[in-house]
Amino acid sequence: MLQSRLVTVLAIVFLVSFTSACAVAQSAPEAPSSATKESRQTATTQGKTRSARLRRTTPITSVIKEVTANSGQRFLLDYRVPNGIVVGPTGFADMEYDAFLSVLDNNDLAAVTTGDYVTVLPKKGVRQAAIPVLKDGETAAPGAWVTRVFALQHLPAPQLVPVLRPLMPTSAHLAAQGNANALIVVDRYANTERLRQVIEQLDTPAAKR
């Protein structure tokens, strides 16, 4: 009788131990194969290579020489402009003026036309530069920084400042002149055109109601 109970207890202990071992074996993560490891390493390496290529800088003077040859524009560089800029995977061969302005914008730089020269300077100082004031009907390159004055006919100018300000970059400037009921905008020409369209949509006789 005692021997039969001992056999039963041993069988139960063996069954519990076997079940636990199977559970541990099933829960243990499968080690990645060598092919999987190699594939992950290759993808990581390619990602790093592509990222480094996109961030590779090019001497800004080299880019300017190419743009001058293609557009005839003459440039001055502010002393705060870095020696190198990120152009991107397309390079700068045959780069036109408009494309160069976009590259400058992507590098937190701005272009301001003064007389016969285009001055390249950091965006953070662009509002204090001698940015040209466009008259009605005058245009500029889409990426060129300009000053424009928009006279309102129906809405009070200060009322539009909180509406338009979120549509502008932090380096731009927007102010309302109450006596003239006008808005003064300093921004890239393309964005001032967008603001003009918004103003025309809002400044209507219906806005007075």
Residue with tokens 């129906």: 154
Mean pLDDT, range 127-139, rounded to an integer:
91
Let me know if domain 133-208 sits in CATH 3.30.1370.120. Answer: yes
The predicted pLDDT at position 209 comes to: 59
Query: What residue type is assigned to position 54 of the chain?
Result: L
DSSP 25-57: HHHSPPPPPHHHHHHHHHHHHHHHHHHHHHH-E
Residue 2's pLDDT band, with cuts at 50, 70 and 90, is very low
Rounded percentage of the chain residues whose pLDDT exceeds 70: 72
3 pLDDT more than 60: no
Q: Pick 25 or 132 by higher pLDDT.
A: 132
Can you read off the two tokens belonging to residue 193?
């055109």
- pLDDT of 184 strictly over 80: yes
Say if residues 59 and 91 touch (Cβ distance below 8 Å): no
Q: Is the pLDDT of residue 123 over 70?
A: yes
pTM for the full predicted model = 0.70
Q: Is the Cβ–Cβ distance between 81 and 74 less than 8 Å?
A: no
Does 89 or 46 have the greater pLDDT score?
Answer: 89
CATH topology (fold) of 54-127: Ribosomal Protein S8; Chain: A, domain 1 (3.30.1370)
Collapsing DSSP states into helix, strand and coil, what is residue 25? Answer: helix
Kindly indicate the confidence band of residue 9, based on its pLDDT and cuts at 50, 70 and 90.
very low
Domain limits, the chain: 54-127, 133-208
Q: Copy the structure tokens of residue 113.
A: 């036309």
Instruction: Dump pLDDT digits (tens) for 54-100.
Output: 568 999 999 999 999 999 999 999 999 999 999 988 788 889 999 99
Looking at this protein, which amino acid is placed at residue 106? Answer: N
